[in-house]
A and B are shown apart, each in its own frame.
Chain A
Amino acid sequence: MKPVHGGLLFLAAGASPPLLAAWEVNLPIGVTAISRSVHDLHMLIFWVCVAIGVVLFGIMGWALVRHRKSKGFKPHKFHEHPGLEVLWTLIPAAILVFMAIPSAATLIEMYDRDEGDLTVRITGYQWKWRYTYLDEEIDFFSNLSTPQNQINNLTEKGDNYLLEVDRPLVIPAGKKVRFLLTANDVIHSWWVPALAVKKDAIPGFINEAWTRVDEPGIYRGQCTELCGRLHGFMPVVVEVKPEAEYQQWVAATRAEAEAAKSAAQAKDWTLAELMARGETVYQQSCSACHQAGGEGVPNVFPALKGSAVVTGPIAEHIEVVAFGKTNTAMQAFADQLGAVDLAAVITYERNAWGNDSGDRVTPAQINQALGKE
């Protein structure tokens, strides 16, 4: 019965499956104690407004219908009434005091500064998030994973269009997780509606927020502070796992990182392999600014095609990509990409788009440049 019903609606509107949620008009209740009390506040103030509106617009509507010249209504002469004027100053003031108390209480709860069971540093980058687990030695970037073809309307859009990432933030259920937020370049803002956590990530500042989610699940949000070109394309995905599963995830993630590191280093990379890998890395990490064909955006992002740096000495090229340029949008990629990816992308830049230098930059060279011999 149910699926048929949903399917019919789907056919009728000719839209994509998440249609059933599509005419949603209210704030979701969310999954944390804080999000529930925020929702209560939201509903309370909403109903207060509705009540005032009903009285006000009711009186106004009555006047509009009854007190018309066309009905022969003669204007009355009154034009002030101190009692009334004081009354409608005092009543709203009283309503506000009544609202202020629960609001302050929720706010104080949100500002709880107690140590959490777990602390994650969240760093905003143009246009991705970095999650660093301070006690677990886990550190990774989280990028939008929606394919470009969906964005350009070439293929059908998936259910979580623009709200999906390659690696979500994973946290344990039922634990107090503390977030320390900062940014690498411009201001971003980290928001997950279901957790009622929104905090700006500001370069040079560390902001604090926290959550405790009891319900395992996947919760999605977005960056909410305009942060440049791809501001609309840096989602936040939080996966809440039961404690045991979370511990497994921690162990697996660490092991994986180790394994990838040693496997990549052991291998001897050919130019063709580096080029292939480099193209993928380039499209994912660089093309947002320098453009897919390396042509850049005049006056904003330099072209890499024919660039003096890219066709010049290898050491300087590595320096720019690995450490970035302070005070520009060119970020340091040493933290984001491993030695292999750095080697690959640099090799790619030096050989793509007619740069044809024939240079092969190896992971070993990168490690040397980074002083990580």
Chain B
Amino acid sequence: MTTATTAEGSQAAHHGPAPGLSRWLFTTNHKDIGTLYLVFSLSLFMVGGVMALLIRAELFQPGLQLVQPEFFNQMTTMHGLIMVFGAVMPAFVGLANWQVPLMIGAPDMALPRLNNWSFWILPFAFALMISTLFMEGGAPNFGWTFYAPLSTTYAPPSVTYFIFAVHMMGISSIMGAINIIATILNMRAPGMTLMKMPLFVWNWLITAFLLIAVMPVLAGVVTMMLLDVHFGTSFFNAAGGGDPVLFQHIFWFFGHPEVYIMILPAFGIISQIIPTFARKRVFGYASMVYATAAIAVLSFIVWAHHMFTVGLPLVGELFFMFTTMLIAVPTGVKIFNWVATLFRGSMTFETPMLFALAFVVLFTIGGFSGLMLAIAPADFQYHDTYFVVAHFHYVLVPGAIFSIIAATYYWLPKWTGRMYNETMGKVHFWLSFIGVNLTFFPMHFIGLAGMPRRIPDYALQFADFNMVASLGAFLFGFSQLLLIYNIVRCVRDGRGAPARPWDGAEGLEWELPSPAPYHTHQTPPRVD
């Protein structure tokens, strides 16, 4: 085939994207795959968001008005699973795909075919999972934490599909993580030593190790469930000599590092954006790296703080309380370093910077409630109430999701070669900021006042703040349409972007033209 083509034609065949749909199906190009991940994540963010709005609509007032309890439980479960595995994680992988090669001066990911495969598993996994909503007996209804035996002996038949969907997502994540590690360790431009890597790359490297360590644990626990459900074992069935608490230990051994999998890349993004718009080098680069590493290591020895009420022995409670409190130290270091970076910088407030600043403030608030939850005796009061819901939404929405939005605005000019609409971006920011706080701040109050999580109906004293939270949720949800609109307009007819749209930006990606050509860093740049 190549022999017959002209020099120009072969140039196109080798260096441009394939035509039509096959470009996306068979692509091994890190930029295409990054785009696929990001579009997929944005779509599932909308699906999960619609579920969240259904939940908030039902909780707008006491009484059952829109949905029945069984459907409500399916919504809380699917909302959680979709947001964690379908929105946040793929978004970070998409950002890694686009940015890691650009930032370390590599021509592509180390394992391009694996890369294609790790993306294309995901749509099938989620099709399988979402299809359970239409099955007899309904979708999984046991919460995204799927505690046994509610998720085994007492589960609807769709649990089998859920298990296979989780297996597929796990395979996808593990392959993605291997690829990222291989790329970062082997393909850095000459001169880029580990301690010269951009912090986004550092944080992703550590995250990828966490993924490889814990995704197999998740696969293990769902396999044990499968055996319990279909093959007569009793891992988690007390009547057969099993142990329901064992499930929780295994789940949270995966689940706690998973929490950091969803926040460490966010730390990396914020550590890129803040120096750019403060026009000042990041403060304490080395301590940033060590803090991330420390968080990752500690994340393996704190899991049972999710289980303070299961009846752990006293020494267990004390151990997990102390280790959990300890995690606040490296996390604090990161926050202080960001503030020190801002201090005596020369700041401007473009949309990515606004989201990054909101991240610092609101993530810190989520960190504070986390510190409160670490105090085991107090956790007896907070556990499984809306206080916890407030806490993890503060670290996940204005935390992880704001960082993803900030990254999108920040690198969009590089990806598309065009600028987004700055005014619309700012409006999007302010609406999101107000919406997020209206939604999640009152949840602290209703939690402290005693409202359990995962209930479709509640006592009257919780009514007022629930109403506020629901209004906030609709505001936040609908503001995201502005983001989509802004992206579409940017891609289609945005103003042309220069190679370095942000005057304070540093790093290899900004040395490239905008949009970044289909193939970049064919000859490695030199870093000194």
A interface residues (Cβ-Cβ under 8 A, vs B): 15-16, 18-19, 21-28, 34, 37-38, 41-42, 45-46, 48-49, 52-53, 56-57, 59-60, 63-64, 67-70, 73-81, 84-85, 88-89, 92-93, 96, 99-100, 103-104, 106-108, 110-111, 126, 150-153, 157, 159-163, 185-187, 189, 191, 193, 196-200, 202-205, 207-208, 221-233, 297-300, 326-329
Whether A187 lies near B147 (C-beta < 8 A) is: yes
Answer whether residue B16 sits at the interface, using C-beta atoms and an 8 A cutoff. no
With A161-B62, A199-B309, A225-B147: A67-B344 Cβ-Cβ less than 8 Å? yes
Chain A residues positioned under 8 Å from B376 (CB to CB): 103, 107
Whether A92 lies near B464 (C-beta < 8 A) is: no
Of B150, B243, B279, B458, the contact of A228 (CB 8 Å cutoff): B150
Q: How far is the CA of A298 from the CA of B156 in the complex (A)?
A: 10
Of B239, B286, B368, B381, the contact of A326 (CB 8 Å cutoff): B239
Answer whether residue B128 sits at the interface, using C-beta atoms and an 8 A cutoff. no
Whether A89 lies near B333 (C-beta < 8 A) is: yes
Chain B residues positioned under 8 Å from A160 (CB to CB): 459
Whether A59 lies near B149 (C-beta < 8 A) is: no
Of B285, B456, B461, the contact of A22 (CB 8 Å cutoff): B461
Tell me the nearest residue of chain B to A326, going by C-beta. B239
Whether B311 lies near A205 (C-beta < 8 A) is: yes
Query: A110: shortest Cβ distance to chain B, in Å?
Result: 6
Tell me the nearest residue of chain B to A23, going by C-beta. B464
What is the interface size of chain B, counting residues whose CB is below 8 A from a CB of the partner?
Answer: 101
- Considering only residues 381-436 of chain B, those with a C-beta below 8 Å from chain A are 381, 383-385
Of B70, B344, B361, the contact of A75 (CB 8 Å cutoff): B344
With A22-B464, A96-B326, A162-B459: A45-B378 Cβ-Cβ less than 8 Å? yes
Of B283, B361, B383, B453, the contact of A79 (CB 8 Å cutoff): B283
Of A18, A41, A230, A328, the contact of B461 (CB 8 Å cutoff): A18
Of A48, A63, A226, the contact of B339 (CB 8 Å cutoff): A63
Answer whether residue B500 sits at the interface, using C-beta atoms and an 8 A cutoff. no
Which of these binds chain A: B31-39, B109-117, B442-450? B442-450
Of A80, A186, A224, the contact of B150 (CB 8 Å cutoff): A186
Q: How far is the CA of A307 from the CA of B457 in the complex (A)?
A: 32
Whether B448 lies near A92 (C-beta < 8 A) is: no
With A22-B460, A49-B371, A199-B311: A107-B345 Cβ-Cβ less than 8 Å? no
Whether A67 lies near B343 (C-beta < 8 A) is: yes
Query: A151: shortest Cβ distance to chain B, in Å?
Result: 6
Which of these binds chain A: B100-108, B134-142, B508-516? B134-142
With A85-B284, A203-B244, A226-B73: A232-B457 Cβ-Cβ less than 8 Å? yes
Whether A232 lies near B456 (C-beta < 8 A) is: yes
Whether A68 lies near B65 (C-beta < 8 A) is: no
Whether B245 lies near A205 (C-beta < 8 A) is: yes
Whether B321 lies near A16 (C-beta < 8 A) is: no
Query: B83: shortest Cβ distance to chain A, in Å?
Result: 17
- Considering only residues 113-157 of chain B, those with a C-beta below 8 Å from chain A are 135-138, 141-143, 147, 149-150, 153-154, 156-157
Whether A298 lies near B136 (C-beta < 8 A) is: yes
Pairs A–B under 8 Å by Cβ, sample size 18: A16-B463, A22-B465, A41-B375, A41-B377, A42-B375, A42-B378, A73-B346, A79-B280, A85-B287, A89-B332, A107-B321, A151-B63, A151-B457, A198-B384, A202-B311, A224-B452, A226-B147, A227-B150
Of A22, A96, A157, A299, the contact of B136 (CB 8 Å cutoff): A299
Whether A60 lies near B339 (C-beta < 8 A) is: yes
Of B317, B348, B372, B453, the contact of A42 (CB 8 Å cutoff): B372
Answer whether residue B69 sits at the interface, using C-beta atoms and an 8 A cutoff. yes
Chain B residues positioned under 8 Å from A78 (CB to CB): 283, 344
Whether A15 lies near B464 (C-beta < 8 A) is: yes
Tell me the nearest residue of chain B to A301, going by C-beta. B137
Tell me the nearest residue of chain A to B76, going by C-beta. A226
Tell me the nearest residue of chain A to B361, going by C-beta. A57
Chain B residues positioned under 8 Å from A200 (CB to CB): 309-311
Instruction: Please indicate which of the listed interface residues B64, B143, B318, B375 has the most CB atoms of chain A within 10 Å of its own CB.
Output: B375
Chain B residues positioned under 8 Å from A37 (CB to CB): 377
With A157-B63, A187-B150: A88-B336 Cβ-Cβ less than 8 Å? yes
In the complex, besides A24-B461, A89-B329, 5 extra interface pairs with C-beta distance below 8 angstroms are A27-B381, A27-B449, A79-B284, A163-B459, A193-B381
Tell me the nearest residue of chain B to A194, going by C-beta. B450
Of B280, B318, B335, B348, the contact of A76 (CB 8 Å cutoff): B280
Q: How far is the CA of A144 from the CA of B444 in the complex (A)?
A: 26
Answer whether residue B78 sits at the interface, using C-beta atoms and an 8 A cutoff. no
With A24-B445, A60-B339, A67-B345: A159-B460 Cβ-Cβ less than 8 Å? yes
Of B154, B281, B310, B314, the contact of A107 (CB 8 Å cutoff): B314
Of B136, B283, B460, the contact of A161 (CB 8 Å cutoff): B460
Tell me the nearest residue of chain B to A56, going by C-beta. B339
Q: Which 7 A-B pairs have the closest CB atoms?
A: A204-B238, A232-B455, A299-B137, A207-B311, A49-B368, A79-B281, A76-B344
Chain B residues positioned under 8 Å from A73 (CB to CB): 344-347
With A160-B459, A193-B450, A226-B142: A198-B137 Cβ-Cβ less than 8 Å? no
Against A, the Cβ 8 Å flags (1 = close, 0 = not) of B260-284 are 0000000000000000001111111
Against A, the Cβ 8 Å flags (1 = close, 0 = not) of B304-326 are 00000111001001100110011
Whether B448 lies near A26 (C-beta < 8 A) is: yes
Q: How far is the CA of A271 from the CA of B364 in the complex (A)?
A: 67
Of B279, B332, B452, B462, the contact of A92 (CB 8 Å cutoff): B332
Query: B110: shortest Cβ distance to chain A, in Å?
Result: 31
Answer whether residue B328 sits at the interface, using C-beta atoms and an 8 A cutoff. yes
With A159-B460, A203-B238, A228-B154: A68-B346 Cβ-Cβ less than 8 Å? yes
Query: A64: shortest Cβ distance to chain B, in Å?
Result: 7
Q: How far is the CA of A81 from the CA of B245 in the complex (A)?
A: 46
Tell me the nearest residue of chain B to A62, going by C-beta. B343
Of B154, B243, B279, B332, the contact of A329 (CB 8 Å cutoff): B154
Chain A residues positioned under 8 Å from B287 (CB to CB): 80, 85
Q: How far is the CA of A46 from the CA of B375 in the complex (A)?
A: 11
Answer whether residue B518 sits at the interface, using C-beta atoms and an 8 A cutoff. no
Tell me the nearest residue of chain B to A91, going by C-beta. B332
Q: How far is the CA of A59 from the CA of B138 in the complex (A)?
A: 52
Whether A79 lies near B150 (C-beta < 8 A) is: no
Whether B283 lies near A203 (C-beta < 8 A) is: no
Chain A residues positioned under 8 Å from B135 (CB to CB): 299
Whether B378 lies near A41 (C-beta < 8 A) is: yes
Whether B237 lies near A327 (C-beta < 8 A) is: yes
Q: How far is the CA of A19 from the CA of B459 in the complex (A)?
A: 11
Whether A208 lies near B311 (C-beta < 8 A) is: yes
Against A, the Cβ 8 Å flags (1 = close, 0 = not) of B162-203 are 000000000000000000000000000000000000000000
Tell me the nearest residue of chain A to B456, going by C-beta. A232
Answer whether residue B521 sits at the interface, using C-beta atoms and an 8 A cutoff. no
